[in-house]
Homo-oligomer: A and B are copies of this chain.
Amino acid sequence: MSQVYEKVALIGLGLIASSMFWASRRAGLAGEVRGFARSDETRAIAREIGLCDVVCDTAAEAVQDADLVVLCVPVGAMEAVAREIGPHLKPGATVSDVGSVKKAVVSAVGPHLPNGIDFVPAHPLAGTEHSGPRSGFAELFENRFTILVPEDSARAEATARLRRYWEGMGALVEEMDAEHHDLVLAVTSHAPHLIAYTMVGVADDLRRVTDSEVIKYSAAGFRDFTRIAASDPTMWRDVFLNNKEATLEILGRFTEELFALQRAIRTGDGEQLFDYFTRTRAIRRGIIEAGQDTDAPDFGRVKK
């Protein structure tokens, strides 16, 4: 793989940025990667583990001369960062991000970028339940989608270059507009996360079943909810506050359907339940065929 950018700046050094650094270095995609994180502790860890070629003490210093600047901070922090770096960007540079919502990021960041900057927001659909500078690894994006949401004003060549960068890190790249992105993610990610958080909260609250029972018997289904309900609280707070409309729309639909199934349980309508459960099985097959999961029977089994 050959170099795609001479100089890259990563603002924010958590799971995604650290994985980008290792993936990009493995493939030789960038000449130099500079990193910045707001907290002294994160910068100290980054220096200790060799995360980024240079760790800078200010965002302004990190973005100077960079051909690509990627904002890897929580969605709620994007605007302040954009305001800070705007005046220091190199003319002709590309600015991108890795936020889980796109309409809100476009509104927050766009106005602070000077003319002549190509703004190509992006969202890698990859993550683990861990966060922080030590949590990254080069394989995070392999066989996972990254969605590019190029602004109308961005040059096609800037988008194509960013695509090569993500493909070099192992990602499958797609493009769509910000509004559609936010709806697709509300269905596939934001609503499921809120539902999982809720179910875990209910289990934790229930007096008649102890937490230790919930934990012991979690393999019966509950466990799959806790995995996604363990994600970074700051990130998820910002996702919900910044993709309100689409998330609330999907949750509204969800509640409607849930009530219909509850009613079928209450009235003993076995046929409705059976038909519903048969239909949902087909979607699962599609996911396995698309290579986005495995149906190995010992999936998730703890090695003894």
Contacts and interface: CB of A to CB of B under 8 A. Distances in A.
Contacts of A189: 217, 220-222
Nearest to A217: B188
Q: Count the copies.
A: 2
Contact of A219 (B125, B184, B199, B205): B125
A57 interface: no
A189 B225 CA distance: 10
Contacts of A129: 284, 295
Determine which residue in A194, A221, A224, A230 has the highest number of CB atoms from chain B within 10 A of its CB, and name it. Answer: A221
A131 to B, nearest CB: 10
A201 interface: yes
A267 to B, nearest CB: 10
Interface string A142-175: 1111010000000000000000000000000010
Interface residues of A, number: 113
Contacts of A190: 221
B236 A248 contact: no
Given A143-B304, A248-B262, A253-B202, A209 B187 contact: yes
Contacts of A303: 294
Interface in A20-61: none
The prevalent SS among residues of A at the interface is helix
Interface in A173-195: 174, 183-185, 187-195
A241 B299 contact: no
Interface string A115-134: 00000000001111110000
Determine which residue in A193, A199, A277 has the highest number of CB atoms from chain B within 10 A of its CB, and name it. Answer: A277
A287 interface: yes
A107 to B, nearest CB: 15
Given A221-B192, A222-B188, A294 B302 contact: yes
A295 to B, nearest CB: 6
A277 to B, nearest CB: 4
Interface in A226-243: 226-231, 233-234, 236-238, 240-241
Interface stretch (A2-10, A63-71, A83-91, A268-276): A268-276
Given A199-B195, A283-B215, A241 B265 contact: yes
Contact of A253 (B205, B234, B287): B205
